[in-house]
């Protein structure tokens, strides 16, 4: 397991967006865009906060908690596997970032549907962060 790809593929407690204050600030002042069926809201932050992400699924679209949990687990896994490039860029530029992913679909998604959507969203956020620094 000493393969280089597996070194930073974690999503530990410090990388999760849990603070009610931070989430309220994100929804109040953050920018957003969608890549069907996922929407991301993002807000640049102080470097000390690092890269933090939150995930949600509407209970209006998924009545059963088990279904919502499954979708959130999929979102977290796809994000975990693709966040490294964004994280490295933020560290080099000494920036922090809050992200919040919202699943907007009405059917249980397949991994193959979520993975590219999360990848596209992360690339767009990275591009926007780069443009803001210029």
Residue 100 near residue 30, CB atoms below 8 Å = yes
Query: Above 90 in pLDDT, residue 39?
Result: yes
pLDDT in tens, 46-69: 888 899 999 999 999 999 999 999
The enclosing H or E element of 70 equals helix 65-82
Task: Specify the number of domains making up the chain.
Answer: 1
* Mean pLDDT over each residue of the chain, to the nearest integer: 91
pLDDT in tens, 66-116: 999 999 999 999 999 999 999 998 988 899 999 999 999 999 999 999 999
What CATH number is associated with residue 59? 3.30.230.10
Sign of CA dihedral 112, 4, 6, 57: negative
Comparing C-alpha atoms, which of 14, 82, 20, 18 is closest to residue 54?
18
Domain that holds residue 20: 4-133
Going from the C-alpha of 61 to that of each of 70, 116, 129, the distances in angstroms are 13, 22, 31
pTM tops 0.85, yes or no: yes
């Amino acid at each position: 397991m000493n393969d280089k790809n597996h070194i930073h593929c974690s999503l530990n407690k410090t990388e999760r967006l849990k603070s009610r204050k931070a989430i309220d600030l994100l929804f109040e002042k953050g920018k957003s865009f969608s890549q069907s069926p996922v929407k991301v809201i993002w807000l640049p932050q102080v470097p000390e906060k690092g890269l933090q992400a939150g995930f949600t699924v509407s209970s209006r679209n998924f009545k059963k908690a088990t279904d919502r949990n499954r979708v959130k687990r999929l979102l977290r896994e796809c994000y975990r596997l693709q966040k490294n490039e964004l994280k490295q860029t933020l560290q080099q530029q000494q920036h922090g970032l809050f992200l919040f992913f919202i699943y907007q679909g009405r059917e249980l998604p397949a991994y193959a549907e979520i993975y590219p959507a999360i990848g596209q969203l992360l690339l767009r956020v990275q591009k926007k962060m780069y443009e803001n620094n210029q």
